[in-house]
Structures are given as C-alpha cells and as structure tokens.
Amino acid sequence: MVREILVWPHPVLKQKALPVELVDDSVRELIRDMFESMNEAEGVGLAAPQIGVLKRVIVLDTSSKQPHLKPVAMVNPEILEVEGSYVYKEGCLSVPGEAEDVERPAKVTVRYLDEQGQPQTLTAEGLLATAVQHETDHLNGIMFVDHISSLKRELIRKRMKKLQSYRAERDHDEPRAEAR
C-alpha cells in the first residue's frame, strides 16, 4: 500500500526511530509499503519515519543512476566505516521541490539485517553512499536541511509552510482521489 509521505517540519521527522527486535511479517509488510511509496514518489530512498513509522527501517534504489545496483531494504542499519568526501545535490521526499549541496563521506560500509533477519554488510560509493547516510540520518531525526546554512533552511521552512497551506486548502475543497 502506498503511504502518505510526511512533509518537514512534521514533528515525527525530528524523532529518533527505535530498533526492530524481530524481522517478522509485519516488518516485511512495512518494507513492501516503503518500496511502493518510494517508487510512486520516484525517490532513490525512503526511511520509515517519513511514512510516520518510528522504526529503524530504510529502503534504497539508486538503479536509475547506478544500473549495476539492485534495490535493497535495511533493518537496523549501522554505518561502520566512512572514507573520503563527496558533495551531492540532495533532495528529500519530505522536502518536496528543494535541493541543496551536502558534503558527506564518499564511501561507507554499513551493517544491517536483511528482510530474512540475516546480518549483511555492504560497502557503497557514489549516490548509494549518499543515500544510505541520508536515510540513516532520518532514523536519528536529522534532515538534509540540518546540513545546510540556517539562512537556506529558514527559506525552505517558509516554502514548506506555503506548500502545506496550499495543500490543506486544496484537500479541503477537493479530497485526494484515493481518499474519496
């Protein structure tokens, strides 16, 4: 099921997500919903808090830019090692229409549980490395706008407020097709 993506500065996006104790069918269903929601929104990643679920689960799919890479779901991801530096113009499905340069390590090694609950280790470079860090930030209540200047962040905050009031007005008169 495609779920609604929360828009910053929604309070849930500032909270720290809790570790998953057991990778069971409910977690696999959450992962399925996250892939569907990410794909519908044409994102390269999604973290569970973005759909209002405070669990440490992320999904990633950078195959449009990195064709050799497959979509991956990570439960309880932990960045073990980082290396280098890389600047990428980041966007976020919770900050629609905005993009700003963010500098992060270029290469990361991440340990996580897969959908079967098996421990895995992955080393990522390029967009996937950026996306893994962007998503693990979400699990700690951190947004890409927390990595840019406060002046840019406050301008974006104003634009999000306008976008939200526009959407509220629109949805008041004309409910979304799927909500009717």
Task: List residues binding Ni ion (CB under 5 A).
Answer: 92
Q: How far is CA 9 from CA 88, 124, 139, in A?
A: 22, 29, 15
In the bound state with ligand GNR, the residue whose beta carbon lies nearer, of 30 and 169, is 30
Calculate the CA 58 to chain-centre distance: 7
Other residues' Cβ atoms within 10 Å of the Cβ of residue 150: 10
Which residues are marked as active site?
Answer: 135
Minimum gap (Å) between residue 173 Cβ and ligand GNR? 28
Nearest residue to 95 (alpha-carbon basis) of 44, 27, 23, 153: 153
User: Which residues, 6 or more positions from 97, have their beta carbon under 8 angstroms from its beta carbon?
Assistant: 159, 163
Contact residue for ligand GNR among 61, 90, 98, 100 (CB under 6 A): 90
In the bound state with ligand GNR, the residue whose beta carbon lies nearer, of 89 and 172, is 89
Contact of 114 with 73, CB cutoff 8 Å: yes
131 sits near ligand GNR (criterion: CB under 6 A) = yes
92 sits near ligand GNR (criterion: CB under 6 A) = yes
128 sits near ligand GNR (criterion: CB under 6 A) = no
The count of chain residues that interact with ligand GNR, using the rule CB under 6 A, is: 17
Q: Which residues are at the interface with ligand GNR (CB under 6 A)?
A: 43-47, 50, 88, 90-94, 130-131, 134-135, 138
